[in-house]
Amino acid sequence: MIAQAIQVLGGVGYTMEYPVEQYLRDSKILTIWEGTSFIHANDLIGRKMRMKEGAAFAAWMKDIKNFIDANSRTKDFEKEMKQLAKAYQSAEEVRDIYNAWYADMDRKRQLIPLYAQKALFVFAEVYVAMCLLDQALIAASKAANLKPGEGDYTFYHAKIASARYYANNILPGVSTLAALIKSEEDSVLTCPEEALVVS
Protein backbone atom coordinates (compact mmCIF):
# COMPACT_ATOMS: atom_id res chain seq x y z
CA MET A 1 0.00 0.00 0.00
CA ILE A 2 2.86 2.35 0.85
CA ALA A 3 4.57 1.52 -2.44
CA GLN A 4 1.32 2.49 -4.19
CA ALA A 5 1.26 5.77 -2.23
CA ILE A 6 4.74 6.55 -3.56
CA GLN A 7 3.52 5.78 -7.09
CA VAL A 8 0.64 8.22 -6.61
CA LEU A 9 3.05 10.96 -5.57
CA GLY A 10 5.53 10.10 -8.32
CA GLY A 11 9.20 11.05 -7.96
CA VAL A 12 8.49 13.40 -5.06
CA GLY A 13 7.14 10.42 -3.08
CA TYR A 14 10.67 9.03 -3.11
CA THR A 15 12.03 12.15 -1.41
CA MET A 16 11.77 13.27 2.21
CA GLU A 17 9.20 15.87 1.18
CA TYR A 18 6.43 13.41 2.15
CA PRO A 19 6.51 10.80 4.93
CA VAL A 20 5.73 7.82 2.70
CA GLU A 21 9.39 7.18 1.91
CA GLN A 22 10.03 6.78 5.65
CA TYR A 23 6.96 4.55 6.00
CA LEU A 24 8.28 2.29 3.24
CA ARG A 25 11.66 1.96 4.94
CA ASP A 26 10.01 1.37 8.32
CA SER A 27 7.57 -1.22 6.96
CA LYS A 28 10.38 -3.46 5.71
CA ILE A 29 11.25 -4.29 9.31
CA LEU A 30 7.92 -6.12 9.60
CA THR A 31 9.20 -8.88 7.28
CA ILE A 32 12.55 -9.35 9.08
CA TRP A 33 12.02 -8.33 12.71
CA GLU A 34 11.40 -11.32 15.05
CA GLY A 35 12.54 -13.54 12.18
CA THR A 36 12.17 -13.24 8.42
CA SER A 37 8.94 -14.11 6.62
CA PHE A 38 10.61 -17.36 5.54
CA ILE A 39 11.39 -18.29 9.17
CA HIS A 40 7.80 -17.51 10.24
CA ALA A 41 6.44 -19.42 7.24
CA ASN A 42 8.42 -22.53 8.11
CA ASP A 43 7.36 -22.23 11.75
CA LEU A 44 3.73 -22.03 10.59
CA ILE A 45 3.75 -24.99 8.25
CA GLY A 46 6.19 -27.13 10.21
CA ARG A 47 5.06 -26.52 13.77
CA LYS A 48 1.90 -24.47 14.24
CA MET A 49 -0.18 -26.20 11.56
CA ARG A 50 0.88 -29.62 12.87
CA MET A 51 0.75 -28.92 16.62
CA LYS A 52 -1.48 -31.38 18.52
CA GLU A 53 -2.18 -33.18 15.24
CA GLY A 54 -3.46 -29.97 13.70
CA ALA A 55 -6.11 -29.34 16.36
CA ALA A 56 -4.91 -25.84 17.32
CA PHE A 57 -4.74 -24.74 13.68
CA ALA A 58 -8.14 -26.30 12.95
CA ALA A 59 -9.64 -24.32 15.86
CA TRP A 60 -8.10 -21.11 14.47
CA MET A 61 -9.57 -21.85 11.04
CA LYS A 62 -12.95 -22.60 12.65
CA ASP A 63 -12.98 -19.14 14.26
CA ILE A 64 -12.66 -17.57 10.80
CA LYS A 65 -15.36 -19.85 9.37
CA ASN A 66 -17.69 -18.99 12.26
CA PHE A 67 -17.18 -15.29 11.56
CA ILE A 68 -18.03 -15.79 7.88
CA ASP A 69 -21.11 -17.87 8.68
CA ALA A 70 -22.35 -15.35 11.25
CA ASN A 71 -21.91 -12.33 8.97
CA SER A 72 -22.29 -13.56 5.39
CA ARG A 73 -25.67 -11.87 4.96
CA THR A 74 -24.92 -8.63 6.75
CA LYS A 75 -26.60 -5.82 4.85
CA ASP A 76 -24.20 -3.72 2.74
CA PHE A 77 -21.32 -6.16 3.34
CA GLU A 78 -22.49 -9.12 1.23
CA LYS A 79 -19.85 -8.54 -1.47
CA GLU A 80 -16.98 -8.30 1.00
CA MET A 81 -18.13 -11.34 2.96
CA LYS A 82 -18.36 -13.29 -0.31
CA GLN A 83 -14.75 -12.36 -1.05
CA LEU A 84 -13.73 -13.51 2.43
CA ALA A 85 -15.60 -16.81 2.01
CA LYS A 86 -13.86 -17.43 -1.33
CA ALA A 87 -10.44 -16.64 0.16
CA TYR A 88 -11.21 -18.89 3.13
CA GLN A 89 -11.92 -21.77 0.72
CA SER A 90 -8.50 -21.16 -0.80
CA ALA A 91 -6.95 -21.27 2.68
CA GLU A 92 -8.67 -24.61 3.31
CA GLU A 93 -7.22 -25.90 0.04
CA VAL A 94 -3.73 -24.82 1.08
CA ARG A 95 -4.12 -26.53 4.46
CA ASP A 96 -5.25 -29.73 2.69
CA ILE A 97 -2.36 -29.54 0.21
CA TYR A 98 0.13 -29.27 3.06
CA ASN A 99 -1.49 -32.18 4.88
CA ALA A 100 -1.15 -34.27 1.70
CA TRP A 101 2.47 -33.23 1.23
CA TYR A 102 3.34 -34.20 4.79
CA ALA A 103 1.61 -37.55 4.25
CA ASP A 104 3.83 -38.12 1.17
CA MET A 105 7.13 -36.79 2.54
CA ASP A 106 9.30 -39.05 0.41
CA ARG A 107 8.11 -37.41 -2.81
CA LYS A 108 6.97 -33.95 -1.62
CA ARG A 109 9.66 -33.01 0.94
CA GLN A 110 11.14 -30.19 -1.18
CA LEU A 111 7.77 -28.56 -1.91
CA ILE A 112 7.01 -28.00 1.78
CA PRO A 113 9.55 -25.18 2.35
CA LEU A 114 9.37 -24.01 -1.29
CA TYR A 115 5.77 -22.80 -0.91
CA ALA A 116 5.88 -21.95 2.81
CA GLN A 117 5.93 -18.17 2.34
CA LYS A 118 3.01 -18.25 -0.07
CA ALA A 119 1.08 -20.36 2.44
CA LEU A 120 1.91 -17.87 5.21
CA PHE A 121 0.52 -15.00 3.12
CA VAL A 122 -2.64 -16.95 2.26
CA PHE A 123 -3.47 -17.46 5.93
CA ALA A 124 -2.32 -13.98 6.96
CA GLU A 125 -4.37 -12.18 4.32
CA VAL A 126 -7.50 -14.15 5.18
CA TYR A 127 -7.07 -13.35 8.86
CA VAL A 128 -6.34 -9.65 8.23
CA ALA A 129 -9.47 -9.43 6.08
CA MET A 130 -11.55 -10.99 8.84
CA CYS A 131 -10.17 -8.51 11.40
CA LEU A 132 -10.78 -5.52 9.12
CA LEU A 133 -14.32 -6.66 8.33
CA ASP A 134 -15.02 -7.24 12.01
CA GLN A 135 -13.94 -3.65 12.69
CA ALA A 136 -16.01 -2.42 9.74
CA LEU A 137 -19.15 -4.13 11.03
CA ILE A 138 -18.70 -2.48 14.42
CA ALA A 139 -17.98 0.87 12.74
CA ALA A 140 -21.11 0.56 10.58
CA SER A 141 -23.31 -0.02 13.64
CA LYS A 142 -21.76 3.00 15.40
CA ALA A 143 -21.97 5.26 12.32
CA ALA A 144 -25.63 4.40 11.76
CA ASN A 145 -26.58 6.72 14.62
CA LEU A 146 -24.44 9.62 13.42
CA LYS A 147 -24.86 12.30 10.79
CA PRO A 148 -22.00 13.42 8.50
CA GLY A 149 -19.61 15.62 10.45
CA GLU A 150 -20.97 14.46 13.79
CA GLY A 151 -18.75 12.74 16.38
CA ASP A 152 -16.59 9.94 14.94
CA TYR A 153 -18.62 9.64 11.74
CA THR A 154 -15.55 10.11 9.49
CA PHE A 155 -13.42 7.71 11.55
CA TYR A 156 -16.05 4.97 11.31
CA HIS A 157 -16.49 5.46 7.57
CA ALA A 158 -12.72 5.26 7.11
CA LYS A 159 -12.76 1.89 8.88
CA ILE A 160 -15.50 0.68 6.55
CA ALA A 161 -13.67 1.97 3.45
CA SER A 162 -10.40 0.30 4.52
CA ALA A 163 -12.10 -3.05 4.98
CA ARG A 164 -13.92 -2.77 1.66
CA TYR A 165 -10.74 -1.87 -0.19
CA TYR A 166 -8.78 -4.74 1.35
CA ALA A 167 -11.54 -7.31 0.79
CA ASN A 168 -12.14 -6.29 -2.82
CA ASN A 169 -8.62 -5.42 -4.00
CA ILE A 170 -6.09 -7.36 -1.90
CA LEU A 171 -7.93 -10.47 -0.72
CA PRO A 172 -8.71 -11.87 -4.22
CA GLY A 173 -4.96 -12.47 -4.62
CA VAL A 174 -5.26 -15.32 -2.11
CA SER A 175 -6.85 -17.52 -4.79
CA THR A 176 -3.86 -16.93 -7.06
CA LEU A 177 -1.41 -17.84 -4.29
CA ALA A 178 -3.38 -21.02 -3.56
CA ALA A 179 -3.35 -21.94 -7.27
CA LEU A 180 0.43 -21.46 -7.40
CA ILE A 181 0.89 -23.74 -4.40
CA LYS A 182 -1.44 -26.33 -5.92
CA SER A 183 0.53 -26.25 -9.20
CA GLU A 184 3.65 -27.67 -7.49
CA GLU A 185 5.72 -25.73 -10.03
CA ASP A 186 9.33 -26.48 -9.07
CA SER A 187 11.60 -24.97 -11.74
CA VAL A 188 13.49 -23.12 -9.02
CA LEU A 189 14.55 -26.54 -7.69
CA THR A 190 15.19 -28.25 -11.02
CA CYS A 191 17.08 -25.44 -12.78
CA PRO A 192 20.76 -26.42 -12.87
CA GLU A 193 22.89 -24.14 -10.71
CA GLU A 194 25.36 -23.51 -13.53
CA ALA A 195 22.54 -21.96 -15.60
CA LEU A 196 22.43 -19.12 -13.08
CA VAL A 197 26.13 -18.23 -13.45
CA VAL A 198 26.79 -15.11 -15.52
CA SER A 199 29.98 -15.44 -17.53
Helices (H), 72-172: 78-103, 105-108, 111-114, 116-143, 153-165
CB 112 within 8 A of CB 102: yes
Look up the pTM and report it: 0.86
Measured distance CA(85)–CA(151) in Å, rounded? 33
pLDDT of the chain, 199 residues: tens digit per residue: 888 888 999 888 888 888 999 998 888 887 777 778 889 999 999 999 999 999 999 999 999 999 999 999 999 999 999 999 999 999 999 999 999 999 999 999 999 999 999 999 999 999 999 999 999 999 999 999 889 888 899 999 999 999 999 999 999 999 999 999 999 999 988 988 888 888 7
Q: Which residues contact 66 (CB under 8 A, 6 or more apart)?
A: none
* Residue positions annotated with a catalytic role: 34
Q: Which residues contact 6 (CB under 8 A, 6 or more apart)?
A: 13, 14, 20, 21, 24
Q: Domains in the chain and their CATH numbers?
A: 1-31 (no CATH), 34-185 (1.20.120)
Measured distance CA(86)–CA(95) in Å, rounded? 15
